[in-house]
């Protein structure tokens, strides 16, 4: 992730720290280093050419090495987090700043190498509020096609300082590759850090960014406020004890000596995570997202600092998007980090495409949105059995990775004459890894898994019955007991015509569809047990309550803003998504020199843009009405 570090300097500070015994790693007495274990059990060292450190064209084994002479502190490479041409958002539209209070629309220009804008059409010049200027630089605020304008902004960057250790023959090891110095575990100090006593009082000593500092105490295999994921077979979570002093967390580095934990980036060469909260700097204008990760009209401006308490991850593996959760009023909002998580604990975050709108000094503990919203079950090794409501094993092919479960209950096994604890599989949320490392929804029939066969995570579930109730419900259901089930499904057509169903996502619609079909089957089965009837009724009521579709609320349906138009488009696509072979909703635009509408890239306003449904069968496209998907506030 990103760190905002200061350049290393000051030999006097080094000598002061040595006198305290704080930086054994920097003294002439240091003799050996132990490398951090990488995935392939090798490390790529560095060589020094003309005073610069570059990767050597070879790898070395992970083991102990002696090092020679004084370690060398460097300021680190420049890493750009906001380019000179990062656009600004004005009234939900991106603009380039061209200097002297003037802006041009991003769609009217492209960027040449070196940060020069070239206009692709005649363009007006606007102020910071998106209003046309009358004059610009003493002339009419109107720039002709092909005008070239050098961006007045400069790149914004951070540096991550490092210390290099010479292990002989011009081969060096970088400080973030090191797990131990002279057999002692170390902290990687990511920014200049003062030393404090146990009362939180700042001492005169400062440890410079890029250094390794031996810590006091032992790392333990348990969770903590600050932790890392060990690079071993089980990805063990480990932590070093932190101390909370006057509202801040510290690590102890010696007798009555502490440094702030948020100034540490790694422990023993492993990226350090925190449970937060952390401060996040907004480095580019960005719109916030709601809990469904749809953009909302909440703008965070460049230069703001927000407090995030969690990173929420959506997607899977290389296609994981990460969002900071930020409290804003009563409800939290989410800000795109612009990063995605790697599988390697050595490099927890990397840039995803263009640079993101945020800058943070720490790796914030993340949570998968799937685990936040659902109770998740994974089969234990060697277990893949499914059961019906009567506790009987059913033959079902399963090629998923994990499944959502929405009920925890006892089922009675008549053959074994006992009750066992089960989870009900939330039919439309069985996930598997697709060919592109993305999650795919897969619909399964009404199934149960034994609690003893799976590992469960995510949201907790309360047991909905007792063993005695499970035994009693193994008897056949009466006609009157089935009446409540038939009543529950009698409004099927009304529900399916409602916005709650029509505009909801495929997962929730599918869950309702399957609950209804199962209820019809149970109601018609003369041998249905009380348990089968009760369960079918529970699933229908659960699925009906779970429907949350709604129209997008807009200010003026005849004059949608770009953000409102995008929200409507997202809702249309959601409503027509049927998981596989579903029709697409596409954007079409009216051109002045041609009759009709043609495929377009984005919203141009109500008078120029239309949304069409493109049937997968190749049938004629269908014009969609905004009023079917949006309503005025």
DSSP conformation class of 176: G
- Both tokens of 446, joined, read 């009404």
- Both tokens of 602, joined, read 């984005």
User: Poorest-confidence range of 115-129, 132-146, 229-243?
Assistant: 229-243
DSSP conformation class of 398: -
pLDDT at residue 39, rounded to an integer: 63
* Per-residue model confidence as pLDDT tens digits over 211-249: 999 999 999 999 999 999 887 777 899 999 999 999 999
The three-class DSSP label of residue 343 is coil
Between CA 220 and CA 41 the distance in angstroms is 23
Using pLDDT thresholds of 50, 70 and 90, give the confidence band for residue 7. very low
Between CA 77 and CA 3 the distance in angstroms is 12
Q: Give CA torsion, residues 144, 149, 153, 156, to 10 deg.
A: 110
* Per-residue model confidence as pLDDT tens digits over 19-44: 233 333 444 455 899 998 766 678 89
**What are the residues whose beta carbons fall under 8 Å from the beta carbon of 44, sequence distance 6 or more?**
55, 56, 58, 59, 60
User: Poorest-confidence range of 424-433, 540-549, 586-595?
Assistant: 424-433
Q: Judge whether residue 558 has pLDDT over 90.
A: yes
E strand or H helix at 408, and its extent? strand 402-413
Please indicate whether residue 9 or residue 345 has the higher confidence score (pLDDT): 345
Tell me: cis bond preceding 277? Omega within 30 of 0 counts: yes
* Per-residue model confidence as pLDDT tens digits over 569-587: 999 999 998 766 667 899 9
The three-class DSSP label of residue 469 is helix
* Per-residue model confidence as pLDDT tens digits over 162-174: 999 999 999 999 9
Q: Judge whether residue 615 has pLDDT over 80.
A: yes
pLDDT at residue 428, rounded to an integer: 60
Between CA 168 and CA 258 the distance in angstroms is 33
Q: How far lies 551's CA from each of 167, 242, 570, in Å?
A: 65, 48, 11
Q: In the predicted model, what is the mean pLDDT of the chain?
A: 86
pLDDT at residue 34, rounded to an integer: 92
* Per-residue model confidence as pLDDT tens digits over 467-502: 999 999 999 999 999 999 999 999 999 999 999 999
User: Poorest-confidence range of 111-125, 349-363, 449-463, 542-556?
Assistant: 349-363
- Both tokens of 4, joined, read 């905002």
Q: Judge whether residue 429 has pLDDT over 70.
A: no
Q: Judge whether residue 17 has pLDDT over 60.
A: no
Q: Judge whether residue 67 has pLDDT over 50.
A: yes
User: Poorest-confidence range of 11-25, 218-232, 272-286, 540-554?
Assistant: 11-25
Between CA 375 and CA 388 the distance in angstroms is 20
Between CA 16 and CA 462 the distance in angstroms is 58
- The phi, psi pair for 493, rounded to 5°, reads -65, -35
pLDDT at residue 349, rounded to an integer: 44
pLDDT at residue 371, rounded to an integer: 85
**What are the residues whose beta carbons fall under 8 Å from the beta carbon of 360, sequence distance 6 or more?**
1, 2, 278, 279, 280, 281, 308, 324
Between CA 568 and CA 563 the distance in angstroms is 9
Q: Judge whether residue 53 has pLDDT over 50.
A: yes
pLDDT at residue 317, rounded to an integer: 60
Single out the residue of 528, 383, 526, 558 nearest to residue 446, CA to CA. 528
What separation, in Å, do the N-terminal and C-terminal C-alpha atoms of the chain show?
A: 40
pLDDT at residue 342, rounded to an integer: 46
- Residue pair 428/441 in contact (Cβ under 8 Å)? The answer is yes
Between CA 462 and CA 410 the distance in angstroms is 11
Runs of H (alpha helix) within 21-98: none
Task: Name 589's bridge partners.
Answer: 598, 609
| CB hemisphere CA count around 444 (13 angstroms) | 28
Please indicate whether residue 344 or residue 109 has the higher confidence score (pLDDT): 109
**What are the residues whose beta carbons fall under 8 Å from the beta carbon of 333, sequence distance 6 or more?**
288, 289, 290, 296, 298, 325, 326
In percent, the amount of the chain with pLDDT more than 90 equals: 61
In percent, the amount of the chain with pLDDT more than 70 equals: 88
Span 432-457, average pLDDT:
69
* Per-residue model confidence as pLDDT tens digits over 75-97: 887 777 788 898 999 998 999 99
Burial status of residue 146 (CB atoms within 10 A of its CB: 0-12, 13-18, 19 or more): exposed
Enter the pTM of the model. 0.80
- Residue pair 277/309 in contact (Cβ under 8 Å)? The answer is yes
Measured CA angle at 379 (ends 376, 385), to 5 deg: 115
- Both tokens of 254, joined, read 């010696």
- Both tokens of 175, joined, read 């400080």
pLDDT at residue 180, rounded to an integer: 93
Please indicate whether residue 439 or residue 69 has the higher confidence score (pLDDT): 69
Report the greatest alpha carbon distance in the chain. 92
pLDDT at residue 124, rounded to an integer: 97
CATH number listed for the domain at residues 278-372:
2.30.30
Beta strand 305-314 with 375-379 is unpaired
Round the CA-based radius of gyration of the chain to a whole number and report it.
30
Q: Judge whether residue 137 has pLDDT over 90.
A: yes
Domain ranges within the chain, ordered by starting residue: 11-78+159-274, 84-154, 278-372, 373-545, 553-632
**What are the residues whose beta carbons fall under 8 Å from the beta carbon of 487, sequence distance 6 or more?**
none
């Amino acid at each position: 992730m990103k760190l905002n570090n200061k350049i290393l300097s000051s030999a006097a500070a080094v000598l002061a720290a040595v006198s305290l015994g704080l930086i054994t790693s920097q003294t002439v007495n240091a003799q050996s280093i132990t490398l951090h274990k990488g995935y392939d059990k090798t490390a790529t060292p560095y060589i020094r050419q003309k005073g610069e450190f570059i990767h050597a064209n070879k790898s070395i084994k992970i083991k102990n090495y002696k090092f020679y002479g004084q370690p060398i502190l460097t300021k680190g490479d420049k890493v750009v987090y906001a380019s000179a041409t990062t656009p600004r958002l004005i009234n939900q539209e991106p603009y380039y700043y061209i200097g002297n209070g003037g802006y041009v629309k991003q769609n009217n220009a492209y960027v040449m190498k070196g940060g020069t804008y070239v206009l692709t059409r005649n363009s007006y010049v606007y102020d910071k509020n998106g209003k046309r200027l009358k004059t610009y630089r003493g002339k009419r605020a109107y720039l002709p096609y092909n005008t070239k304008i050098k961006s007045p902004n400069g790149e914004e960057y951070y540096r991550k300082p490092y210390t290099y250790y010479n292990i002989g023959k011009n081969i060096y090891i970088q400080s973030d590759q090191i797990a131990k110095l002279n057999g002692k575990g170390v902290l990687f100090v990511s920014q200049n850090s003062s030393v404090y006593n146990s009362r939180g009082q700042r001492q005169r000593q400062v440890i410079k960014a890029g250094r390794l500092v031996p810590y006091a105490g032992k790392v333990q295999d348990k969770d903590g406020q600050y932790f890392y994921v060990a690079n071993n077979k089980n990805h063990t979570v480990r932590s070093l004890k932190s101390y909370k002093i006057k509202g801040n967390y510290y690590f102890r580095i010696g007798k009555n000596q502490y440094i702030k934990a948020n100034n540490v980036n790694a422990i023993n060469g492993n990226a350090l995570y925190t449970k937060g909260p952390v401060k996040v700097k907004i480095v580019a204008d960005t719109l916030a997202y709601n809990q469904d990760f749809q953009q909302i009209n909440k703008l965070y401006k460049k230069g703001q600092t927000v407090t995030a308490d969690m990173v929420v991850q959506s997607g899977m593996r290389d296609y994981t998007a990460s969002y900071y959760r930020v409290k804003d009023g009563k409800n939290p909002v989410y800000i795109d980090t612009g990063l995605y998580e790697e599988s390697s604990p050595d490099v927890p975050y990397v840039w995803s495409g263009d640079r993101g709108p945020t800058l943070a000094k720490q790796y914030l503990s993340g949570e998968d949105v799937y685990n936040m919203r659902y109770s998740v079950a994974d089969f234990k090794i060697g277990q893949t059995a499914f059961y019906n409501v009567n506790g009987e094993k059913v033959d079902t092919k399963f090629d998923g990775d994990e499944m959502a479960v929405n009920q925890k209950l006892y089922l009675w096994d008549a053959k074994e004459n006992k009750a066992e604890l089960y989870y009900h599989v939330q039919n439309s949320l069985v996930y598997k890894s697709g060919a592109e490392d993305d999650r795919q929804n897969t619909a399964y029939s009404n199934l149960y898994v034994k609690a003893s066969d799976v590992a469960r995570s995510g949201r907790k579930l309360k047991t909905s019955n007792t063993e005695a109730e499970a035994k009693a419900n193994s008897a056949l259901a009466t006609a009157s007991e089935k009446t409540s089930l038939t009543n529950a499904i009698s409004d099927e057509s009304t529900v399916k015509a409602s916005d709650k169903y029509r505009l909801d996502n495929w997962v929730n619609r599918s869950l309702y569809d399957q609950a209804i079909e199962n209820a019809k089957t149970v109601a018609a089965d003369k041998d249905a047990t009380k348990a089968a009837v009760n369960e079918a009724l529970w699933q229908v009521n659960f699925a009906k309550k779970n429907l949350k579709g709604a129209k997008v609320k807009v200010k003026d349906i005849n004059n949608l803003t770009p953000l409102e138009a995008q929200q409507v488009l997202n809702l249309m696509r959601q409503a027509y998504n049927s998981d596989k072979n579903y029709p697409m909703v596409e954007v079409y635009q009216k051109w002045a020199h041609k009759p009709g509408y043609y495929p377009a890239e984005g919203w141009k306003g109500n008078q120029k843009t239309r949304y069409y449904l493109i049937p997968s069968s190749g049938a004629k496209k269908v014009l969609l009405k905004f009023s079917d998907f949006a309503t005025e506030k």
